[in-house]
Amino acid sequence: MSNKNWPLFEVFIRSKNGLSHKHVGSLHASDAEMAITNARDVYTRRKEGVSIWVVESKNITASNPDEANSLFDPAEDKVYRHPTFYQLPDELEHM
Amino acid sequence: MTPNTDNLVQYVLCYADNAMILGQRLSEWCGHGPALEQDIAITNIALDLIGEARMWYQYAAEFEGNGKTEDDYPYKRVDRQWRNVLLVEQPNGHFGHTIFRQFMFDCFHYYFSLEMMHSNDQRLSEIAAKSNKEASYHLKYSSEWMLRLGNGTDESHQKMQEATDDLYIYFNELFEATPFDESLMGIAPDLSKVKERATLKFNEIMKETSLDIPEVKYPQTGGRKGIHSEHLGYILTELQFLQKTYPNAQW
């Protein structure tokens, strides 16, 4: 059996204390169901997670590194966009 | 009621040995899996089973006393003293054989541990509760592969049929009462009940895969009485090599 035809999936795991799923890596699987079990076996053996998302890599649209200048540089001198000028009340969690 | 020590120990060994030998068999796939992801999936299952075997062996050793340890059972018994069913010692064959063997075992293992959770022996019910969680994942894993290969290409279907024809003769032994069941009423689950539920699951998946269940003229049995196929000797040679070469070696 060869896996040369199995599509690539990107795997996202939410850890027990985490609030969002984080990208942990990628793997091959013949379908999404198999990708979930594969991800469980490859990426959660040491209790890393409580939830798994998989998405076929081809469905991810990535930004073009060549456009990094136009996409990200303009944010560099806009320090006022950080909420660092406010007093945050203690009750506000997860900022 | 305190059961006869020897009966309980031998009874526990039936299930310890199933898990131990299948775990050992599956670990032969380590580094040889059909894909990296399956390599690790199968070795995870192997580790689950060896972990389960340890829990049974530890209990047997505590119950037996006399300075027995969990290692004595796997490392210091000859083949006639092993009580695993014949299915688990069958060779890995091709991936389809491994999957079909696993699927049959998982059908048994899942429903057996579910019943065992009601055992009057608290320790056995705790071991069962832990292994039932693992078995439920194993059953999901092997069922998905049964469907995937059974309904896959002509070649994969044909290979699954071949595996079914080769190994189905070992299915029934899983549900045969051990020689100790009768003396352990309330402790040993009723295997006819396990058989009923496991067979339902088995048939459901087989139907979905449209694989033919062969007629069994000569069902294979004997493992629980210590009468094994030639394969067990080879497994034990490898498993016990270190202890035999360096008796009582420690880590």
B200-249 residue pLDDT tens:
999 999 999 999 999 999 999 999 999 999 999 999 999 999 999 999 88
Alpha helices in B151-230 (DSSP H): 154-167, 191-209
Alpha carbon B158 to chain centroid, angstroms: 25
DSSP B142: H
**pLDDT at residue A56 greater than cutoff 90:** yes
**ipTM of the modeled complex:** 0.74
pLDDT number for residue B3: 62
Alpha helices in chain B (DSSP H): 5-27, 36-64, 72-75, 86-89, 95-116, 122-150, 154-167, 191-209, 231-245
**CA torsion, ordered B163, A34, B194, B51, to nearest 10 deg:** 100
B13-32 residue pLDDT tens:
999 999 999 999 999 999 99
**pLDDT at residue B1 greater than cutoff 50:** no
Q: What is the mean pLDDT of residues B51-68?
A: 95
Q: Which of B34, B41, B148 shows the shortest C-beta gap to A41?
A: B41
CB atoms within 10 A of CB B196: 12
Which chain B residues contact residue A46 at CB under 8 A?
A: none
**pLDDT at residue B43 greater than cutoff 90:** yes
Which chain A residues contact residue B48 at CB under 8 A?
A: none
pLDDT number for residue A95: 66
In terms of average pLDDT, the best of A43-47, A64-68, B59-63 is: B59-63
**B226, amino acid identity:** G
A12-40 residue pLDDT tens:
999 988 789 999 999 999 999 999 999 99
Q: Could you tell me the two tokens for A29? A: 């699987």
Alpha helices in B28-71 (DSSP H): 36-64
**pLDDT at residue B11 greater than cutoff 90:** yes
pLDDT number for residue A1: 47
Which chain B residues contact residue A41 at CB under 8 A?
A: 37, 40-41, 44
pLDDT number for residue B164: 98
pTM of the model: 0.88
Which chain B residues contact residue A6 at CB under 8 A?
A: 35
* Residues in Cβ contact with B140 at an 8 Å cutoff, skipping those fewer than 6 apart: A37
* Share of residues in chain B with pLDDT > 70 (%): 99
* Residues in Cβ contact with A13 at an 8 Å cutoff, skipping those fewer than 6 apart: A21, A22, A24, A39, A43, A44, A48, A49, A51, A52, A53
Q: What is the mean pLDDT of residues B179-198?
A: 95
**Helix orientation angle between B154-167 and B95-116, rounded to the nearest 10 degrees:** 60
B150-178 residue pLDDT tens:
999 999 999 999 999 999 999 999 999 99
Mean pLDDT of chain B: 95
* Residue B32 forms contact with A (CB below 8 Å): no
For residues B33 and B200, give the distance between their C-alpha atoms in angstroms, rounded to a whole number.
Answer: 30
* Residue A38 forms contact with B (CB below 8 Å): yes
pLDDT number for residue B143: 97
* Share of residues in chain A with pLDDT > 90 (%): 51
pLDDT number for residue B2: 56
Q: Chain A neighbours among B 40-59 (CB < 8 Å)?
A: 40-41, 44
**pLDDT at residue B138 greater than cutoff 90:** yes
**pLDDT at residue A79 greater than cutoff 90:** no
Q: Which of A11, A26, A37 to mutate to test the interface with B (most CBs of B within 10 A)?
A: A37
- Please identify which residue in the block is written with the tokens 């009340």: A89
DSSP A36: H
User: Residues B36, B39, B42, B46: is their CA dihedral positive or negative?
Assistant: negative
Q: What is the mean pLDDT of residues B135-140?
A: 96
Q: Which of A28, A37, A45 shows the shortest C-beta gap to B35?
A: A28
Rounded to a whole number of angstroms, the CA Rg of chain A reads 19
